[in-house]
A and B are shown apart, each in its own frame.
Chain A
């Protein structure tokens, strides 16, 4: 029980008004354990991205609760939510969203700037992560000078820079070719298995389902089924997850 990291209780969310109102989430209940690799799978518009956004606090459910380690994040102020995202959640986007006005190292270090970490320490940590990812030679490049696959790995390093509990990725391979996709998925798998990060992923690609411990199938805003794919080797105590390692 203690290792339930995320608990979603009767979360509902709708968009639009009046006749054009669409209910994207309908009373969704879900528990995610610490150290799990969970994939949300389903057709477009099934609510998987919205569910993901509710977990990282970018979206607030109309009804219901999103409880992360005992704290209902839907009750947090905008400011506290930003701080929470900064420290506890690493977000990875489909379109990488690496900022063009910074170089690779500055991009990775950016969340630490919001956390108030001094620049020298930020850059040291970013360099360490980049080298761990085998991209050490790209540190001073600007994002437009590197490939999409490299940009996405930079974005993953950025997501990890504040040592978060949870990695959230919304179709991280959606803009990548199959070879780069594989690299990114392998990296996420390693971060889950070796570094014990909880990974929650949205994907369209059925080939990726094998990476997950559990696959949550969504349809029309509801969880249609949950499949257990592989067993977690051991329970993970969130207080004991250490530094990122591969």
Chain B
């Protein structure tokens, strides 16, 4: 018997029982659709969250802070100590302070990070336009896109514009009255960040008072393998060391749990649908018992009957899988459009919370076929084993 004829005979049941077949296909579609939809959202969430902060440079460094600055001052001594740790490739301090940018008669508050160019680079900022300042540059500043927004000026128009910055440099002699310093900078670049209002400027352009302390110190690690050992040393010295890599690992763990929960929910839907399909196949088997008897007496072999039933369930699951994936893709993209519209309206950027990689779709399709085959095995075996005379007598 030709494979196409096996398929055609299997299909004839669908045509004969359109409603029942449609409902069964729909059941599988919901199960598969739920899995694709939920997992893609989990994946999308993970991508969005981690994509914002991922850059290899950012992953291989620690942000070191001091728990108690009177015992462990964050000064040049500390920097020297960190540089002496073997495996450390560079140490860059950050002096964080509040500030106010004035431009064209308007003013806005920003968080000022006085840091070296290498520091900015290792943060891995996503540039909207322009560039970060170079190593020995003292006149340029980098702001975020929300700062540009505050002035109602497009980021591109800010490039090479002169702004005035008043920064409040911490005063070690009297922490309550910071030293106000005013200076002009030229905008060299705008970072894509529509949530936080901050600026990077060269540390060398800020006059630090004697005994002033840094807010945090970035310790970069040359080889990823040394991360744990260096962290241990920093902690031994009494400092707190956080790395983005660790945070991402923690987040990945959380996302893995979220994905498992979503997968379980989808799997429950699929199991229910599979039971529905098994039920349909069993009813179809009972209904067609006499037909099986006729086909066998006309010369169909047991294997042919087996294949006919197995392809029936496989086709149901294939159609179910395909339409489930289609439904999930449509729903997911609608969700992306709606959320992006809302986000853009609220001043944010486009978000793709639903992300379904191609390989994932292929795996799910293969999985739905597998479900179909497994569900069909038993009814197909029963059909194949039927004695033709008994089947013919079945009413």
Q: Which residues of A contact B (CB under 8 A)?
A: 53, 56, 58-59, 78-79, 82-83, 85-87, 91, 93, 97, 99-102, 110-111, 113-116, 118-119, 158, 162
Contacts and interface: CB of A to CB of B under 8 A. Distances in A.
A91 B290 CA distance: 15
A91 B296 CA distance: 11
Given A97-B290, A101-B12, A82 B1 contact: no
B300 interface: yes
Given A82-B302, A101-B12, A113-B9, A56 B297 contact: yes
Interface string B273-296: 000000000000000001101111
7 contacts: A85-B299, A99-B12, A101-B291, A110-B298, A111-B299, A113-B9, A119-B5
B297 A85 contact: yes
A113 B12 contact: no
B225 interface: no
B2 A86 contact: no
Contacts of A79: 301-303
A114 B297 CA distance: 11
A113 B297 contact: no
A101 B15 contact: yes
B389 A114 contact: no
A83 B1 CA distance: 11
A83 to B, nearest CB: 7
Contacts of A59: 389
Nearest to A100: B16
B299 A83 contact: yes
B301 A58 contact: no
Given A119-B4, A119-B5, A114 B295 contact: yes
B297 to A, nearest CB: 5
B292 to A, nearest CB: 10
B4 A114 contact: no
Residue among B293, B297, B300, B301 with the highest chain A CB neighbour number at 10 A? B297
Contact of A113 (B5, B13, B302, B303): B5
Contacts of B155: none
B12 A111 contact: no
A212 B392 CA distance: 27
A170 to B, nearest CB: 10
B376 interface: no
Q: Which 9 A-B pairs have the closest CB atoms?
A: A86-B299, A101-B16, A101-B12, A82-B301, A113-B5, A97-B294, A111-B298, A114-B299, A85-B299
Contacts of B290: 97
B33 interface: no
B2 A118 contact: yes
Given A100-B16, A101-B16, A58 B294 contact: no
Residue among B15, B294, B299 with the highest chain A CB neighbour number at 10 A? B299
B5 A83 contact: no
A12 B13 CA distance: 39
B349 interface: no
Contact of B298 (A91, A100, A101, A118): A91
A234 B388 CA distance: 36
B109 interface: no
Q: Is the interface of B mostly helix, strand, loop or mixed?
A: helix
Given A85-B298, A111-B299, A113-B8, 17 more contacts: A53-B389, A56-B297, A58-B388, A82-B299, A86-B300, A87-B299, A101-B16, A101-B291, A102-B12, A110-B298, A111-B298, A113-B5, A114-B301, A115-B1, A116-B2, A119-B4, A119-B8
B352 interface: no
A9 B15 CA distance: 47
Interface string B300-320: 111110000000000000000
Contacts of B389: 53, 58-59
B294 A99 contact: yes
Contacts of B298: 85-86, 91, 110-111, 114, 158
Contacts of A118: 2
A160 B299 CA distance: 13
A78 B392 contact: no
A69 to B, nearest CB: 17
A114 B304 contact: yes
A1 to B, nearest CB: 29
Contact of A82 (B15, B294, B300): B300
B300 A114 contact: yes
A17 B96 CA distance: 96
Nearest to A84: B299
B12 A114 contact: no
Contacts of A113: 1-2, 5, 8-9
B295 A58 contact: no
Contacts of A83: 299, 301
B302 A99 contact: no
Nearest to B4: A119
A93 B299 contact: no
A102 B9 CA distance: 9
Contacts of B300: 82, 86, 114
A14 B190 CA distance: 95
A144 to B, nearest CB: 11
Residue among B290, B291, B294 with the highest chain A CB neighbour number at 10 A? B294
Nearest to B395: A95
A102 B293 CA distance: 16
Contact of A101 (B13, B303, B304, B392): B13
Interface string B232-255: 000000000000000000000000
A87 to B, nearest CB: 7
A122 B298 CA distance: 15
A99 B299 contact: no
Interface string B195-224: 000000000000000000000000000000
A108 to B, nearest CB: 11
Contact of B299 (A97, A115, A119): A115
